[in-house]
Chains A and B, each alone.
Chain A
Amino acid sequence: MRLEPKPTPPLGVTLLFPVAAIAATLVITSLLVLAAGASPFSVFYLVARGAAGTQFAALETLTRATPLIFTGLAVAVAFRAKLWNIGAEAQLYIGGVVTIVLGTGALPLPSFLLIPVIMLAAMAAGALLLLGPAVLKTRFGVDEVVTTLLLNFIVLLFVSMLLEGPLKDPMGLGWPQSQRVVAEAQLPRIIQGKRLHYGFVIALCAAAIVWVIMKKTVLGYEMRAVGHNAEAASFAGIPVNRVLMKTALLSGGLAALAGFSEVSGLKGNLTLDLSPGYGYSGIVVAMLAMLNPLGVVASAIFVAGIFVGADAMSRTAGVPSYIADVMVATALLTMVTAILMSRYRMRWR
């Protein structure tokens, strides 16, 4: 068998590939549903209803999509330049830590100043966290996949240390949790009494800004060039290492915003279960979106819908909610295969 490149298909056909990948995912995971003794049709219907069937469900999906948009953007930006940032989880937690450090009364500022200050500080912290692996990659040739992955474990232990030490809530009855952020540091809810908060709006703005950076600026062009062929980019006079540094800063900063928005908009405080793997799911979100920043919004909502819907489904149908994680992982693999099919044709001989 060999692969031959084929001409780039028109946009309409390209959009069919995520659809095909999702269809393949449903077929594969329906086998597991059958194994669990349930009917795939009713289970997928329950997932869909749990994700978008009611106003409550739809808002919950958008709430869950918010951190995924940030981590998805972080991964999309990094992967575009072939900087393999698998550490969005760690950057998210660092963003949460900064939000707690600055947002629990340390800065006596009004809301319209405090929130931007916290956002910038969180982004800076996340950016610096990814700068480490990026420097190790460009200076010493250390593979950033392994360093960013290992940093996830280190940072989680670091957060655990903070939550049992300096950041521990004295009123927390001994639980490893931080104090709650002050009212000025909280992102308001979009609809009174519902969980959806302005973090979602910030995420949409972030997606638009990242889209502009990627498509309309020199930096975006350089990032794509480095990702496509670093050697050729270097030959064309693009400072590859500097571009990778900037990519790392942008990517780490975006992932940290996920932590900021979860703490400041949703949870109010920092605990060790701030993220159920949003950093890793961000990889799937970015790949489903084919690394397109605007596509990230759609795929984040889709992935969030699977998680929210599966939670609701498992309560009624008795199929373990881990089916959502299986679906998301399968979607990642079917998606990369679908993208390949769109660019190459297979010749058997």
Chain B
Amino acid sequence: MEQALEILFTASFWVAAIRIASPLIFATMGELICERAGVLNLGIEGIMTAGAFAGWFTVYAGGDLWTGVLVAALAGAMFGLLHATLTVPLGLSQHVVGIGVTLLASSLTYFIYRLALPEVTSPPKIAPFEALAIPGLSSIPIIGPALFNQTPLTYLAFATVAIVAWVLYRTPLGLAIRAAGENPAAVEAQGISVTGIRMGAVMVGSALMAVGGAFLTMSAFNSFFFQMINGRGWICIALVVFGSWRPGKALLGAILFAAFDAYQVRLQQLSGGVVPYQVFLMMPYVLSILALVLVARRATYPKALMIPYQKGER
């Protein structure tokens, strides 16, 4: 019991928690932008898969790490464009299109992977992002290694939260995005195109999701394998709800969630095989459902979420 508590005061636990949180932070911010503009993006799981592959493959083919991140983001934006074209001007069901984009993005990724590496059984590794210690800050006990001795992509994840929060709440563009998700007619009345705002939001959001996927191949596992996203996208959708569509709260949710995830792995080692390991692996998913139930009663969805908008229609 004491050992179970001691885990919480080790640096390695918090380092792992922040590392697990990083891809979730990117993807959660991506989904948050989409939903704030009024579009539920269920393509997230597939877009993360595509991003994970695109980033890894760019580096594998000889590209630079940051080029890989950029390629991943572009791949994500392209799937975002597809999703947005079908759901925004055409107003198709965001549920069906989202699932379709997930199926398409992941199957296309697997197709290209098999085409590029036909005979590979164990996926090749790349040289990933190295941890970058921030002088001074990284020597603070526990917090130092956890927050200031991570890979550049983790810093980028935290910076993304700040940027998203600043854009959403401090700029006219952010106001337009939020209004597109709450009251699109008011946006149109200002002479701003709702279609443009929503399509842009979905593309940028999808790019972030793809970078989240790329984190896994470029900063965590160092190679690409099938089913590697493993429901993380769906968990991010739960995190957006849990964070009441606010970047700061969603960030806290992602870290809390990742801490639980890191904790269950350590608890699993501690339990010595008495409890089946699958019970521990189930916890993240169970936790996500519980989190949804917990906040559901007071969740205030963006009012125009999932409602297609047509110019001039009442």
Indicate if A109 sits at the interface (CB-CB under 8 A): no
Tell which of A43-51, A56-64, A136-144 binds the partner: A136-144
Q: Give A74-92 interface residues, CB cut-off 8 Å to B.
A: 79, 84, 86
Interchain CA distance A117-B276 in the complex, whole Å: 31
Q: Answer yes or no: A107 CB below 8 A from chain B CBs.
A: no
Asked if B299 is at the interface of the complex by the 8 Å CB criterion, the answer is yes
B289 lies within 8 A of A147 (CB): yes
For A287, the chain B residues whose CB sits under 8 A away are: 96
Contact B278–A160 (Cβ < 8 Å) = yes
Instruction: Give complex CA distance A142, B104 in Å.
Output: 26
Binds B, one of A12-20, A149-157, A218-226: A149-157
Across the two chains, which residue of chain A brings its CB closest to B46? A329
Task: Count A-B contacts at CB 8 Å.
Answer: 134
Contact across chains for A32 and B103 when beta carbons are under 8 A apart:
no
Contact status B99-A2, CB under 8 Å: no
Determine whether B167 belongs to the interface, using a CB cutoff of 8 Å to chain A: no
- Nearest CB in chain B to that of A349: its residue: B311
Residues of A295-349 whose CB lies within 8 A of B: 318, 320, 322-323, 325-326, 328-330, 332-333, 336-337, 340
B89-117 CB mask vs A (1 if < 8 Å, else 0) is 11111011101110110111011001100
Q: Which residues of B contact A84 (CB under 8 A)?
A: 95
The reply on A161 being an interface residue by CB < 8 A is yes
Output the nearest chain B residue to A331 by Cβ-Cβ distance.
B100
Q: How long is the Cα–Cα vector from A151 to B310 in the complex, in angstroms?
A: 35
B292 engages A146 (CB within 8 Å): yes
CB-CB under 8 A from B231, the residues of chain A are 149-150, 152-153
A136 to B278, CA, bound (A): 24
Check if B42 sits within 8 Å of A145, measured CB to CB.
Answer: yes
Q: How many A residues face the partner with a CB closer than 8 A?
A: 47
Report yes or no: B103 in contact with A165, Cβ–Cβ below 8 A.
no
Residues of A within 8 A of B108 (CB): 32, 326, 329
Task: Collect the chain B residues with CB atoms within 8 Å of residue A332's CB.
Answer: 96, 99-100, 103-104
Cβ of A3 < 8 Å from any Cβ of B? yes
Q: Are B104 and A330 in contact (CB under 8 A)?
A: yes
**Does A164 sit at the interface, judged by CB under 8 A?**
yes
Set B42, B91, B100, B241: member contacting A329, Cβ < 8 A:
B100
How far in angstroms is the closest Cβ of chain B from A91?
Answer: 16
A158 interface residue (CB < 8 Å to B): yes
Q: With A and B bound together, what is the CA distance between A143 and B42 in angstroms? A: 12
**Chain A proximity of B293: nearest CB distance (Å):** 6
0 or 1 for each of A117-141: is its CB under 8 Å from B? (1 = yes): 0000000000000000000100011
Determine how close the nearest CB of chain B comes to the CB of A27; give it in whole angstroms. 15
- CB within 8 Å for A150 and B100 given contacts A143-B292, A145-B42, A325-B107: no
* A151 to B292 alpha-carbon distance, docked (Å): 13
| A252 to B238 Cα, complex, angstroms | 23
> B75 CB to closest chain A CB, in angstroms?
15
Q: Could you give, for residues 278-314 of chain B, a 1 whenever the CB lies within 8 Å of some chain A CB and a 0 otherwise?
A: 1101100110110011001101000000000011100
Q: Is the CB of B312 within 8 A of A36?
A: no
Q: A79-B96, A146-B289, A150-B238 are in contact. List 18 more A-B contacts (CB 8 A).
A: A3-B90, A35-B115, A136-B296, A143-B241, A146-B241, A150-B285, A153-B282, A154-B282, A154-B286, A157-B278, A161-B279, A165-B276, A283-B103, A284-B103, A318-B118, A323-B111, A326-B107, A328-B103
Binding site for A on B (CB under 8 A): 42, 82, 86, 89-93, 95-97, 99-101, 103-104, 106-108, 110-111, 114-115, 118, 230-231, 234-235, 237-238, 241, 276, 278-279, 281-282, 285-286, 288-289, 292-293, 296-297, 299, 310-312
20 example contacts (A-B, Cβ-Cβ < 8 A) are as follows: A36-B115, A136-B293, A142-B292, A143-B292, A145-B237, A146-B238, A153-B285, A157-B282, A161-B279, A280-B103, A287-B96, A320-B118, A328-B103, A328-B107, A329-B108, A332-B96, A332-B104, A333-B100, A336-B93, A340-B91
